[in-house]
Amino acid sequence: MTHSLDLSKVDALYTSGYFGPPALAAPEFYWISLMGSLLAYKDGEGRPLGEEMAPSHVQRGVPMEMRECPYAGSRHNHQNQMNVSSLRQFSAYWPAIVGGLAVLREEYLRHAGRDGVGRITLIDLWKFSRTGIALPAWLLRRAHAPLADGEIPPVSSIIYRMMLGVNRVAHLQLLMISATGVESPEWAQQPAALYEYTDGNELFIGLNSVCAGSRPMIEETFRVLLGGDPGPSADRAPMRALVDRSFLVYAGLLHLLEIQKYIFGAKAASALQDLVWQTTRPGGAAPSPLGAALKAFQERIASQVSSLAQEVAFAGEEIRSTMLARIEGFRAELHDDYCATSGDEGLLDEIVRGERAATGEPGAGRVLELLGGAGAPAADTVAFASALADYLRLERSHLAAFELLQKRLDRALGRPSPPLVLGGDDITKAFGPKLRDFAAEHFGLRIVNTATCTTIRHGGHELRL
């Protein structure tokens, strides 16, 4: 039976740039998400990694049998159907899948110096799942023996899809831990409880389908990731042929890049939110023209701001500071794992030094002068000049971090690493519009920002910060 999916919504997302560039089209910095960068590639059996989330031209000719979901719970008879064709591939490779999950877990812990670790947390599930998701990217992009589209081993493509689901659970917990500081509860060690948590939060339901895995398959996935024992029938060989230290170094760098992006995104969203609060009149009074324009801009770009960044931005100052500190603590934990695997112990120090080096002259007064605000400028204009100067310093510091991480990624892939200079336009490509883009739209400022210098032009005048 051919699929009855309406792919117009999926195709529209690709056309809009929602998924970002494919993995082979741009360096890792530019990927909107690790998931989105891989969805359109095919494995060695011709199945898209993204299955029903691949664009229609990739799905053409691929068996895609969709049926109403019979499983109890939130998926039962859902309007989104389950992908039976994908489930058949899962079942055919199941011994290699559970063996592969065990290998990913064992190798991550071994190289991170955590052999024989006791309690596994939901944060560990985040690490394991993101590592599994990264494997096809490594196979496609490595300089030595890269695989072509259509050559990705099915065991890797299936685990990629499975780990996307596991990561939804782990990522939700990362949000909660960042907000509350409470680590994984005891129930998180129980596969049945994790299944109920996933089902109760409707995490089995996707954009245009529901998870096709049965409860026993899903609970076994959790059991292997938590406990590491895949059972006597498991086949570890296919994954052992794919996973080595070089891959784990690459995956560790991807984890760090992702968290660095979260930190920047959260701080950038917070800068905009603070300015909206400052320029939007309390008590129901009409906002100033600048406040109204900022609010409209914030609403327009909301879909391009991560849920974590929004959580941080809308928190009060004390809670926001605590949440950012916890995310930075998670970055340090990931860095420790990466260091144990790679021996590259100074990476985080370099990133932090770059962040501190960008805290130079505030520049708010000079930005205000460039805006024509000398004399008696409006309070909103003063607030905007200060916020823009602070944002541009934030952007410079993270441009330096992103350049550093991308160079490390190129090195891990064995690719030549030419001089890499990122700028503010690259931030827009990877993150969507930020406060710098609003300044261009609303005030006509032309801003060139790099890791070392900011140049602002307006009305024939130029300012360097």
Map out the domains of the chain as residue ranges: 8-243, 247-464
Average pLDDT over residues 293-322: 90
Percent of the chain with pLDDT over 90: 67
Q: What is the mean pLDDT of the chain?
A: 89
Model confidence pLDDT, tens digit, residues 12-39: 989 988 899 999 999 999 999 888 999 9
Helix axes 245-279, 424-431, angle to 10 degrees: 100
5 pLDDT more than 90? no
Residue 448 CB neighbours (<10 A): 14
pLDDT the model gives residue 1 = 39
285 pLDDT more than 50? yes
The pLDDT confidence band at residue 358, using thresholds 50, 70 and 90, is low
Task: Output 115 or 261, whichever has higher pLDDT.
Answer: 261
Least confident of 70-74, 260-264, 435-439, 455-459: 455-459
Task: Provide DSSP, 183-222.
Answer: ---GGGG-HHHHHHHHHHTTTTB-SS-B----HHHHHHHH
Task: Output 397 or 287, whichever has higher pLDDT.
Answer: 397
337 pLDDT more than 60? yes
- CB neighbours of 89 closer than 8 A, spacing ≥ 6? 45, 47, 154, 158
Token digits of residue 41: 């590639």
pLDDT the model gives residue 189 = 82
Are 147 and 139 in contact by the 8 Å Cβ rule? The answer is yes
420 pLDDT more than 50? yes
pLDDT the model gives residue 283 = 63
pLDDT the model gives residue 2 = 41
Token digits of residue 455: 């140049």
376 pLDDT more than 90? no
Task: Output 134 or 361, whichever has higher pLDDT.
Answer: 134
- CB neighbours of 140 closer than 8 A, spacing ≥ 6? 23, 24, 41, 146, 147, 148, 149, 152
Model confidence pLDDT, tens digit, residues 176-193: 777 777 776 777 788 999
- CB neighbours of 19 closer than 8 A, spacing ≥ 6? 13, 32, 33, 35, 36, 37, 39
Side chain identity at residue 77, one-letter code: N
Tell me the CA distances in angstroms from 271 to 276, 317, 326, 373, 436, one per residue in order. Answer: 9, 11, 19, 21, 11
The pLDDT confidence band at residue 70, using thresholds 50, 70 and 90, is very high
CA 356 and chain centroid, separation: 24
Q: Is 456 helix (H, G, I), strand (E, B) or coil?
A: strand
pLDDT the model gives residue 178 = 73
220 pLDDT more than 80? yes
pLDDT the model gives residue 120 = 81
pLDDT the model gives residue 175 = 75
In angstroms, the first-to-last Cα distance of the chain is 63
Burial category of 217 from C-beta neighbours within 10 Å (exposed 0-12, middle 13-18, buried 19 and up): middle
3 pLDDT more than 50? no
d(CA 215, CA 358): 51
Least confident of 71-85, 218-232, 275-289, 331-345: 275-289
Task: Provide DSSP, 8-55.
Answer: HHHHHHHHHTTT-S-TTTS-GGG-S-TTTTTTT-BBTTS-BTTGGGS-
pLDDT the model gives residue 405 = 95
Average pLDDT over residues 328-341: 94
Residue 93 CB neighbours (<10 A): 21
**Any idea how long the chain is?**
465
Side chain identity at residue 83, one-letter code: N
Percent of the chain with pLDDT over 70: 94
Task: Provide DSSP, 340-361.
Answer: HHH--TTHHHHHHHHHHHT---
